């Protein structure tokens, strides 16, 4: 990933503030280099790079008691806020769609994804979690 000149300048100023004006040029260079490197090595998707903190969780499978409770317990335990929920049952099949705000959750998207995936396996149903943006861009102009 490229680091802009502007960013390097900001990092340098930050270092100067921290160490004061008496810092030796060698030390300054070393410190700035270290921080630019660590800045570069953070390519992973951060929560705030997305437009909203909402995800859409869709699950379906053979209906059985406790499906809704299991999923909502996982969400509640991890401080995820269910904003909307729709459920339909067609013969023995159920479909459930939840709109969930995960911006306050301590878990990353991936951690939540993995947690739900293991719950899905346990209950032998399908759970999908997708960021809201994809629905917004496909269905809203």
Partner 1 sequence: MPYEFEEILETIKMTQVEHFDIRTVTLGINLRDCADRDVNVICQKIYDKITRIAKNHVQIANEIEQRFGISIANKRIAVTPVSIPFDNLKKDEFIKVAETMDRAAEAVGVDYIGGFGALVQKGFTNGERELIQAIPEALAKTKRVCSSVNVASTKAGINMDAINLMSHQIKETARLTAKDGSIGCAKLVVFCNVPEDNPFVAGAFHGVSEAEASINVGISGPGVVLQAIRDAGKIDLGQLAEIIKKTAFKITRAGELIGRKVAELLGVEFGIVDISLAPTPAEGDSVADILEAMGLESVGSPGTTAALALLNDSVKKGGLMASSYVGGLSGAFIPVSEDAGMIRAVQKGNLSLEKLEAMTCVCSVGLDMIAIPGDTPEEVIAGIIADECAIGVINDKTTAVRIIPAYGKKVGDMVEYGGLLGSAPVMPVRNLTPKDFVLRGGRIPAPVRSLTN
- Return the exposure string of 29-40: e unless at least 16 CB atoms fall within 10 Å of the residue's CB, then b: eebbeebeeeee
**Minimum distance, C-beta of residue 135 to partner 1, in the bound complex (Å):** 6
Distance (Å) of CA 140 to CA 42, 98, 133, 134, 137: 32, 18, 10, 10, 6
Q: Which residues pair with 89 in a beta bridge?
A: 94
Residue the block writes with tokens 């437009």: 51
The site string for partner 1 over 85-104 (x = CB under 8 A, - otherwise) reads -x-x------x-x-x-----
Report 3-22 residues binding partner 1 (CB under 8 A): none
Binding mask 20-59 for partner 1 (x = CB under 8 A): -----------------------xxx---xx-----x-x-
- List Cα–Cα distances, 89 to 73, 97, 134, in angstroms: 21, 12, 25
Size of the site for partner 1 (CB under 8 A): 29
Q: Tell me the backbone φ, ψ of residue 14, rounded to 5 degrees.
A: -60, -45
From 13-21, 25-33, 69-77, 130-138, span contacting partner 1 (CB under 8 A) = 130-138
Classify residue 84 by its DSSP letter.
E
Please state the closest distance from residue 27 (CB atom) to partner 1, in A.
27
Pick 123 or 135: Cβ nearer partner 1:
135
CA distance 21 to 47: 35
Task: Mark the segment that binds partner 1 (CB under 8 A) among 18-26, 62-70, 74-82, 108-116.
Answer: 108-116
Q: Rule CB under 8 A: which residues touch partner 1?
A: 1-2, 43-45, 49-50, 56, 58, 84, 86, 88, 95, 97, 99, 109-110, 113, 128-131, 133-135, 137-140
């Amino acid at each position: 990933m490229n680091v802009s000149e502007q960013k390097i300048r900001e990092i340098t100023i930050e270092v100067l503030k921290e160490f004061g004006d008496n810092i030796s040029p060698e030390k300054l260079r070393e410190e700035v280099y270290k921080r630019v490197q660590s800045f570069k090595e953070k390519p992973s998707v951060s929560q705030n790079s997305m437009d909203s903190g909402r995800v859409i969780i869709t699950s379906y499978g053979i209906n059985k008691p406790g499906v809704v409770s299991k999923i909502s317990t996982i969400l509640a335990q991890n401080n995820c806020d269910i904003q909307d929920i729709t459920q339909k049952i067609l013969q023995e099949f159920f479909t459930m769609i939840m709109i969930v705000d995960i911006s306050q959750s301590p878990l990353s998207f991936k951690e939540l994804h993995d947690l739900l995936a293991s719950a899905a396996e346990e209950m032998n149903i399908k759970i999908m979690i997708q960021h809201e943006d994809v629905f917004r861009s496909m269905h809203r102009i």
